[in-house]
Amino acid sequence: MDKLKIVQVSKEFDEDAKAHILEGFLEHFGYIDHSLNPDLNSITDYYSRRGYIFLIGFIDQELVCTGAITKEGSHTGRIERMSVKKAFRRRGLANKMLQQLERYALDMKYTKLVLETNQHWQNAIQFYQSNHFIEEKRDQQRIHFAKRLIHVENDSL
């Protein structure tokens, strides 16, 4: 099994994270519209300045996955930028990234997470459904999912 190390992004890895995400856009869409992605110009600054979380995952020294949480509302976070490098898919890395993001969401006192994905991406839809996200609505291109988070109090002595 791959040894995945997940950390918060730092300036040192901004460009690698950006390249990873753009590579995924090319794979899925065949083009990149840079005007739709201003957060990628300086990931560390953009996410940290707003109190958001942007995580990157490494196997050995290679960046293989990303994921982020942004603020949707006072008690709601939004999962964004979930991506696993094609050569590393089907190894449980997305699950590990999502679990880590959910831990951060709980620390941030969110009670709900939302996300959206393209309605033609069956693997992504199945992934989120298998992780207890419930479809809330659809539009012509996307499916919008939500998940309630359960805060567990630690009463250990």
Mean pLDDT by 10 residues, the chain (157 residues): 88 95 84 84 94 96 97 96 93 96 96 95 94 95 95 57
| pLDDT in the model for residue 69 | 98
| pLDDT in the model for residue 115 | 98
DSSP designation for 11: G
| pLDDT in the model for residue 40 | 93
| pLDDT in the model for residue 157 | 44
| pLDDT in the model for residue 154 | 57
Two structure tokens written together for 126: 């199945």
Taking the CA atoms of 12, 55, 108 and 115 in sequence, report the sign of the dihedral they define. Answer: positive
- Sequence-separated (6 or more) residues with CB below 8 Å from residue 131: 95, 98, 147
| pLDDT in the model for residue 108 | 94
Residue 67's nearest CA partner among 54, 78, 58 is 54
| pLDDT in the model for residue 153 | 63
CATH architecture of 4-148: 3-Layer(aba) Sandwich (3.40)
DSSP designation for 140: S
C-beta separation of 128 from 115 below 8 A: yes
Global pTM value: 0.90
Delimit the domains of the chain by residue range. 4-148
